[in-house]
Amino acid sequence: MFKTHVVESGLMLVWLYEFVIIALMWMAGLSPANVTMAVAMMISLGVATGLLIPGIIISWLIIGLTSVGTGILLFGYVVMNTQMKLFLLAVFPVVASLTLVVRYILGGLGWLDANRASIEAYASHYDNVVKLQTRHNAEKIYDKSCTFLRTRPDIDMVITVTGIQWVDQQQFKQFNIEDYQLLLQRMAMVLKKDRLPEESIYYLGDGLFIILSYELSKSVYQQLNTVTGQELAVLQASGYQPQFKWGHVHIDRHNVSQYLTFEHVLRQIKRAMETDIIVEYMKEGSVD
């Protein structure tokens, strides 16, 4: 968000620079011919100075030329009213200073463009709303873990992949984008707070969070899920309370061949989620 404001402010300053140049030329056009030529020369000199000369030298150049111009125009014998003299004195420093600022802004935007590939890569690997890594990183870690399980069958390691998805997030997003982002942030905060430090949490989009856990006992895993479910159940925004579906897969050296890719795991988790919804509906029906 901060970077967006910087770019917007920079573009506004560029627009202001163009407006000042146009205004100066318009005012020069209303002046006598000799003043118009002088203003045109000052504008050209200011633009060239701001573009080509380092900032510290520009500062001294503005001070020196302004002092000389003040001596000639205000204390010398020049047939011109005071307002016109002050106008001529202001043209060069204003144009040179604004050109210098615009040069640095355009240079900064140029840096952004030159690093566009790196910025896009970062954006694709990190969700800026929930402040979590995305699918790319989840796939890398999962592939590395599966490779370890296949190549080290002597180690009895268990990977648990848990999926938690906001059920009707698409419908809610269409009408309440701000509350939608707020709820996603609160969901991410619950997971960051309630899950163990050694667990890895990722956001895959469409309201789907993935948790990678290692070597957790069944009791500890169930306890973590209970706490997480209780915290998620109290979330709400504008009177709306989101519903969630859960799914998980336990992977060890015996069944790792069935889940060689992250996509295989996701499909199994989504099937488990659909079963979870059916079970919840059956429970509600039995209560009724």
Q: Do both 228 and 258 map to the same domain?
A: yes
Amino acid at 151: T
Q: If 0-12 CB within 10 Å is exposed, 13-18 middle and 19+ buried, where does residue 141 land?
A: middle
pLDDT in tens, 72-120: 666 555 556 667 777 777 777 888 888 877 777 666 555 555 555 555 5
Q: Which of 63, 124, 51 is nearest to 93 (CA)?
A: 63
Cα separation, 162 vs 211, in Å, equals 5
Distance (Å, rounded) from C-alpha 111 to C-alpha 105?
Answer: 10
Whole-model pTM: value is: 0.60
My answer on whether 136 and 277 are in the same domain is yes
Asked which of 54, 89, 114 is the last residue of a domain, the reply is 114
pLDDT in tens, 123-150: 667 888 899 999 999 999 999 999 888 8
pLDDT for 286: 46
Are 271 and 135 within one domain?
A: yes
pLDDT of 287 reads: 43
> Phi and psi dihedrals of 162, rounded to 5?
-115, 135
Residues 94 and 151 placed together within one structural domain of the fold: no
145 and 250 belong to one structural domain: yes
Same domain, residue pair 98 and 170: no
Range of the domain at 278: 125-287
Question: By CB neighbour count within 10 A (0-12 exposed, 13-18 middle, 19+ buried), where does 39 fall?
Answer: buried
Question: Length of the chain in residues, anyone?
Answer: 288
Q: Is 158 exposed, middle or buried (CB count within 10 Å of its CB: 0-12, 13-18, 19+)?
A: middle
Residues of the chain with pLDDT under 50: 1-3, 278-279, 281-288
Let me know whether 110 and 131 are in one domain: no
